[in-house]
Structure 1
Amino acid sequence: MTPSLPTRQPCPPGACICGRDELLEKPGADVRILLLTRQEEKRLLERLENIHSLADLEHMQRRMFEQLGLRLHIAPGFNEVRSMRGIEIEIDELPGLCRKTRQSIPAAIRRGLEHHPEIAWRLLDSHDLLRDA
């Protein structure tokens, strides 16, 4: 008998629209996101806050996709970037992803970028910051 991996506890009724129950009912559905328990989420957020380079951030993006199926897009915003809020951080729609988690991941990345602004500069440079100069 194979032991099952721990999955995230359900959100209180009416508090979230993650679709956890519907995801569990679908045969063959990708349930990797449900492996992100609250304790694992705390570890992930702490790790995102403590990134130390753009390569580290890109590595975290790849690992989140491989392990959780979570696709994260980070790019300069359409308008001028004057602060970390000008950097767009989007998470693709994913059934089973809690609303609070969807908000806390970009917030943790922004805190990490505020601690290390050189990462934000590298991110801007990688998207051709001086294209119009």
Structure 2
Amino acid sequence: MDLPFPIRKECPPGACVCNREALLADPGADLRILQLTQQEEKKLVERLENVASLDELLRMQARMRDLLGMEISITPSDNVVRTTRGFRIEMADQPGLCRKTRQAIPAAIRRSMDNHPEIAFAILNQRDLLGG
């Protein structure tokens, strides 16, 4: 299949459950996620790690949704949030999304929240968990 953009290399057999071949075989499929090559993923992870505010994080989420079709939700857990581990950072299931990417992006967001706790506080404040 000839695409107008470079696509991610396939993962070794059995190492991933991204369903890349099924995605490529479907003529009506959304192939945007395949634009996230390994080099582009490294750039994205680095950019996410350097996010310094909630506004910037929300813009990054919107860009990932628009450009790649990736849906990411960040919510505090139902229990007490004491560290960034208390946040659920989930990526919606999407054909073509590599297993490694599913792990790397939430980890990068979590590192950003560790480096800039004001992001975590802003997320908590959005849901009025800080009471002000």
Unaligned runs of 5+ in 2: none
Q: SS of the residue aligned with 1:89?
A: strand
CA deviation vs aligned residue, 1:31-65 (integer Å, no higher than 9, x gap): 10000000000000000000011000000000000
**Structure 1 gaps, min length 5:** none
Aligned to 1:117: 117
**Structure 1 residue 130, shift from structure 2 partner:** 3.5
What secondary structure sits across from 1:95 in the alignment?
A: coil
Contact 1:75 1:127 in 2 (8 A): no
Q: TM-score, normalised on structure 2?
A: 0.95
Once residues 51 and 101 of structure 1 are traced to their aligned partners in structure 2, the CA distance between those partners, rounded to angstroms, is 18
**Match of 1:23?**
23
Amino acid at match of 1:34: L
User: Structure 1 residues 39, 77: CA separation in 2 closer, same or farther (over 3 Å shift)?
Assistant: same
**Separation in 2 of the partners of 1:53 and 1:28?**
37
Helix, strand or coil at the partner of 1:4: coil
% identity of equivalent residues: 56
The alpha-carbon distance between structure 1 residues 103 and 3, as it changes in their structure 2 partners (threshold 3 A), is closer
CA RMSD, Structure 1 to Structure 2 (Å): 1.5
Normalised by the length of structure 1, the TM-score is 0.94
